[in-house]
């Protein structure tokens, strides 16, 4: 029987790579998006073409009500969830801490932190044996910025990902006895469209050879491989782990 995975922020980058790889490896997939409907629909159609079921689901993950509605739609369209990939995230243009506006800070934390909490809450209520569930896996997406701090770039984003690391550990300990494994992947410099949203579309290509020991940026597919492994039964004794996929950085 095919397992069911929800990937937030699944219309491009790491989220899209994860959804596509999951579809090829036997999952039915819910592809969440906020504004890029075409991207999410394209990913979903590719999963369907490979023989799986897939649905594109719109929701701003920073909106608690929208997240609840999204999970209800996944229940109705695909069935009980097995895996949540908390991938939705955002950066803002490069700046220093003293110039970060209250609105920017609220949005960065709302999407990157609150969104992961809201989605995990819904997933736990469905997966956890505490609520009659059959177990499952939650994979949060952190960032190497959580430990590097991203000075003069986006300390707000780095701080949000630091919160994701703590959240991963805490939730994993809460759920370890209830059948839900909770892990995180900590990508390094990865060539995805996220950098363009921060105002530096070529950042990965430029920085990869300079600061990464492997002398290149990573790919979204390389991060997806780690996510799919953590979601799988091959990682059945792994929880509370924050897996670096950084090329040695």
The boundaries of the domain holding residue 21 are 3-245
What does 43-86 look like in DSSP terms, one character per residue?
Answer: HHHHHHHTT--EEEEE--TT-HHHHHHHHHHHHHHT-S--EEEE
- The tens digit of pLDDT for each residue in 214-224 reads 989 899 999 99
Residue 207 has pLDDT above 90, yes or no: no
The chain-wide mean pLDDT, for the chain, equals: 95
Residues taking part in catalysis: 157
Residue located via tokens 């039915």: 28
Report whether 142 contacts 184 (CB < 8 A): yes
The C-alpha atoms of residue 123 and residue 140 are separated, in whole angstroms, by 12
Residue 197 has pLDDT above 70, yes or no: no
Considering only CA atoms, give the Rg of the chain.
17
Select from 53, 55, 52 the least CA-distant residue to 24.
52
Query: Domain of 95: which CATH number?
Result: 3.40.50.720
- The tens digit of pLDDT for each residue in 11-52 reads 999 999 999 999 999 999 999 999 999 999 999 999 999 999
- Helix (H) / strand (E) containing 242: strand 242-245
Q: What's the number of domains the chain is made of?
A: 1
pLDDT tier at 195 (50, 70, 90 boundaries)? low
Residue 56 has pLDDT above 80, yes or no: yes
Phi first, then psi, for residue 207 (nearest 5°) are -85, -30
Residue 196's pLDDT is what? 54
What does 174-197 look like in DSSP terms, one character per residue?
Answer: HHGGGTEEEEEEEE-SB-STHHHH
């Amino acid at each position: 029987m095919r397992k069911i995975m929800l990937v937030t922020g699944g219309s491009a980058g790491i989220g899209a790579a994860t959804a596509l790889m999951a579809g090829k490896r036997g999952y039915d997939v819910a592809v969440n998006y906020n504004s890029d409907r075409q991207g999410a629909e394209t990913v979903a159609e590719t999963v369907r073409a490979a023989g799986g079921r897939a649905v594109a689901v719109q929701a701003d993950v920073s909106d608690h009500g929208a997240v609840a509605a999204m999970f209800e739609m996944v229940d109705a369209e695909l069935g009980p969830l097995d895996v949540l990939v908390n991938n939705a995230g955002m950066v803002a243009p490069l700046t220093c801490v003293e110039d970060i506006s209250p609105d920017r800070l609220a949005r960065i934390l709302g999407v990157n932190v609150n969104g992961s909490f809201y989605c995990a809450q819904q997933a736990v209520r469905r997966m956890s044996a505490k609520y009659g569930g059959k177990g499952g896996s939650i994979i949060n997406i952190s960032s190497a910025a959580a430990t590097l701090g991203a000075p003069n770039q986006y300390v707000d984003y780095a701080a949000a990902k630091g919160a994701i690391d703590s959240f991963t550990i805490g939730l994993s300990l809460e759920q370890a006895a209830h059948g839900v494994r909770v892990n995180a992947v900590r990508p390094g410099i990865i060539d995805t469209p996220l950098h363009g949203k921060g105002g530096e579309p070529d950042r990965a290509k430029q920085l990869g050879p300079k600061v990464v020991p492997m002398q290149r940026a990573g790919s979204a597919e390389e991060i997806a491989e780690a996510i799919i492994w953590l979601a799988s039964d091959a990682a059945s004794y792994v929880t509370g782990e924050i897996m670096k996929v950084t090329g040695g950085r």
